[in-house]
Amino acid sequence: QVQLAESGGGLVQAGGSLGLSCAASGPTFSVFTMGWFRQAPGKEREFVASINWRTGYKFYADSVKGRFIVSKDNAANIMHLHMNSLKPDDTAMYYCGFQIQAGGAFGSWGQGTQVTVSS
């Protein structure tokens, strides 16, 4: 029932900032945690950050902790990812998804938005 759409990707120089958005359409009452994942060419999809939809608890991958900030707007059904101090290694297709319970798999992926960081 829930459809996700990522936006905000683009080309940015190393050290710069970029903001991503994940908009959810449809009811989100079943959402437990919303999360950001990324996948670079030839690599597996990896976890980036997540936020509990009810409590606002945030969790970050070690590779982005201190540089990225995840936030949410429940009324607008939007999750944001503010990326700072970007590195070339951050280059990837960024996806958002959600899980309906702790320990469950993330799913209902959007189409993704490309982030390219130039050196």
Surface-to-core class of residue 41, CB atoms within 10 Å of its CB (0-12 exposed, 13-18 middle, 19+ buried): exposed
Q: Largest Cα–Cα distance in the chain?
A: 41
Q: Where are the beta strands (DSSP E) in 28-77?
A: 33-39, 46-52, 58-60, 68-73
Compute the distance between CA of residue 50 and CA of residue 11 in angstroms, rounded to an integer.
23
Query: Which pLDDT value is given to residue 69?
Result: 98
Residue ranges in the chain whose pLDDT is less than 70: none
Distance set, CA 62 to CA 25, 30, 49, 53 (Å): 30, 28, 10, 21
Compute the distance between CA of residue 108 and CA of residue 4 in angstroms, rounded to an integer.
7
AA identity, residue 86: L
